[in-house]
Chain A
Amino acid sequence: MSDVALVALADVFRLPNLLASMMGVLFGLFIGASPGLTISLGMVLLLPLTFSIPPVTSFCLLLGLYAAGMTGGSISAILLNIPGTPSASATAIDGHEMAKKGRAGQAIGTAVISSFFGGMFSLVCLVLIAPTIAKFALRFGAPELFALVLLGLTLICSFGQRSIIKGLISGVIGLIFMTVGLDSMMGTPRFTFGYVELQAGVPFLPALIGLFAIPQILEGIIGGVQVIPKYEAKISGLLPRFKDITRLFKTMVLGASVGTGIGAIPGAGGPIAVFLSYDYAKRISKNRELFGTGLPEGVAAPEAANNGVAGGAMIPMLTLGIPGDPITAILLGALMIQGLTPGPLLFQNNAQFVYSVFWAFLVANVMTLFLTLSTIKVWVRLLQVPKRILLPVIVMLCIVGSYALHNTFFDSGIMLFFGLLGYFMRKFEFPVVPMLLAIILGPALEEHLRMSLIISQGDPSIFVKHPISLVFIIIALISFIGPLLKRMRAS
């Protein structure tokens, strides 16, 4: 092991960082287990706390939340048949059937062990693959980086599930917001309307909080607070026997591989991975007809997959600066808040930080395993925390958190503006994720485009003359046109 990795290990094992991991895990379990609260929401609520703490501590906190949120989602899915997060949807199929038969403990135990396995599997892939990709990506110049960001943006198509046009409109509006501020080349103001606060651009953290948190809260308050049924039965037999674990090993490997692979493809995301792994597990099982009736394999596959997604999604995020899903987009924002530039240079200039992220993810997975198993009764009780208390707390945290970035209420105003926008976007079925991607990637797109054209003295053929850039542009075109053709064929 290199010296840098050892120093990073020692850093992550410092008490403040371990405490941050633990806080992240506990908060993640709460968010994951609470139906209606998503991991993205939890992330944006924690982001304001990360300004004043070192980058490694903030990532211990956020990765703890990420890993535990994925696991926590299975608790309500199994006990109440209400998935805590979208990635726990497939777990409910067999998990709840097991709970109905009095095997809730076994189902939760299987979910937790499989989640741990999925997380560790994806971590190994991350450690093995990420440095190689980053090394290769160091060759990228401005044209390649422009083409790469363009590729990241074409993923917008895959987020516009109901309507590709609406997904694209959402992305274009996000890019329009990112043209606000000082022109990066000439230093002249653009669309700032005389506000000094807008010269640095639209602050993306308040925008994230507004887009993700406020619409959820408004829907919770106005749409009527969801009544969560009580789970009365006793939960026992959490720890699976060694024999059961070995029997599930093949399913867990399958789920973790599918999850890591899907996670590494930007835009695919957890819900796709869990249903795909559930389907594959069913196909290879000898008891395929028993799937859906309460089979541990039906819990192990999706749970290994959803935690596999976490590590997989971090591969493009750390190496190329392209987020794999909304959660990694927020993590990318967290990196930028700390003044770190995601992408290949992160591995070169901040290698110790990158290793710390690896270790922090390991600690997060181990803590999630032990804390979930040892405190399960608490989480079952917390399922009943009334939303009439929870939702006002979240609103207050959003306002105070957005203020904390620059100590100005201008940011809180921006947060409310994006909150209102996000609420109406949801109502009119415009996806918010393309806007989030555009807000994160927009400035880089324009900067690399203009930089490339300065290099080529205004000749746009620079993008096709560079082979790597050409490959990215071709893939971008395919990923843009592919879904359109698929839709046209389907209709």
Chain B
Amino acid sequence: MKRANIFISIILIVFAGYYAYLITRLPTRKLPHTLGGDFMPWVLTVCLLLLSSLLLLKSTLHKSEEERSIKVSWKEVAGTLALFAIMVAYIEAIIYFGYILVTPFFMAAMMLISGSRRPMEVIIFSIGISLAVYVLFYRFFHVPLPVGRIY
């Protein structure tokens, strides 16, 4: 945890620096006797810098609570990023093929990743649920569902 906190606080300090750089590029136009649009961002930058430095100091100097190890394995991070890649791919595919054509495949992929091993279960639920959501959202609540360039 100690190393993780040090790592995070350094990232936050760098982020605060980048945010400060962005603030300097904001337009300076403001009304007389009042604060400009850059006031709040500056306050927040100072707060973030102070808090991240405090976390860094605490993690470096303090011993007691930092003994716990944080459970972040590379396998887990890779799994998370892979799942995100599938979600991004789903969104990209919907843009071209539309909700109806893509969703059953996405559902099937997610079910397989989540541990479904029976082919019939995967087929029935991926198609059935996609259609049920279509009916509930589009037909019943009139909430628009993504339409692709093809369908």
Taking Cβ atoms with an 8 Å cutoff, the residues of A that contact B are 48-49, 51-53, 163, 165-166, 168-169, 172-173, 175-176, 179, 183, 185-186, 188, 190-191, 218, 220-222, 225, 386-389, 391-393, 395-397, 399-400, 403-404, 407, 409, 412-413, 416, 419-420, 423, 427-429, 446, 449-450, 453-454, 457-458, 491
Residue of A nearest to B22 (CB): A191
What are 25 of the A-B contact pairs (CB < 8 Å)?
Answer: A48-B143, A52-B141, A165-B55, A166-B55, A172-B44, A172-B47, A176-B41, A176-B44, A185-B37, A186-B29, A186-B31, A190-B26, A221-B114, A399-B90, A400-B137, A400-B145, A404-B143, A409-B94, A416-B91, A419-B84, A427-B72, A429-B1, A429-B70, A449-B35, A458-B33
* Interface residue? B83 (CB, 8 A): yes
CB neighbours of B113 from chain A (8 A): 221
Give complex CA distance A409, B91 in Å: 7
Residue of A nearest to B92 (CB): A409
Residue of A nearest to B90 (CB): A399
Give complex CA distance A395, B111 in Å: 11
Residue contact B91 to A52, C-beta cutoff 8 Å: no
Give complex CA distance A457, B144 in Å: 47
Residue contact A169 to B143, C-beta cutoff 8 Å: no
Q: CB < 8 Å: which of B5, B44, B91 contacts A179?
A: B44
CB neighbours of A176 from chain B (8 A): 19, 41, 44, 48
Residue contact A49 to B141, C-beta cutoff 8 Å: yes
Residue contact A399 to B70, C-beta cutoff 8 Å: no
CB neighbours of A416 from chain B (8 A): 84, 87-88, 91
CB neighbours of B150 from chain A (8 A): none
CB neighbours of B141 from chain A (8 A): 49, 52-53
Number of A-B contacts (CB under 8 A): 162
Give complex CA distance A325, B71 in Å: 28
Taking Cβ atoms with an 8 Å cutoff, the residues of B that contact A are 1, 4-5, 8, 12, 19, 22, 26-27, 29-31, 33-37, 39-41, 44, 47-48, 51-52, 54-55, 58, 64, 70-72, 76, 79-80, 83-84, 87-88, 90-91, 94-95, 99, 103, 106-107, 110-111, 113-116, 121, 125-126, 129-130, 133, 136-137, 141-146
Give complex CA distance A427, B56 in Å: 18
Least Cβ distance of A453 to chain B in Å? 5
Least Cβ distance of A281 to chain B in Å? 33
Residue contact B37 to A396, C-beta cutoff 8 Å: no
Residue contact B44 to A175, C-beta cutoff 8 Å: yes
CB neighbours of B58 from chain A (8 A): 165
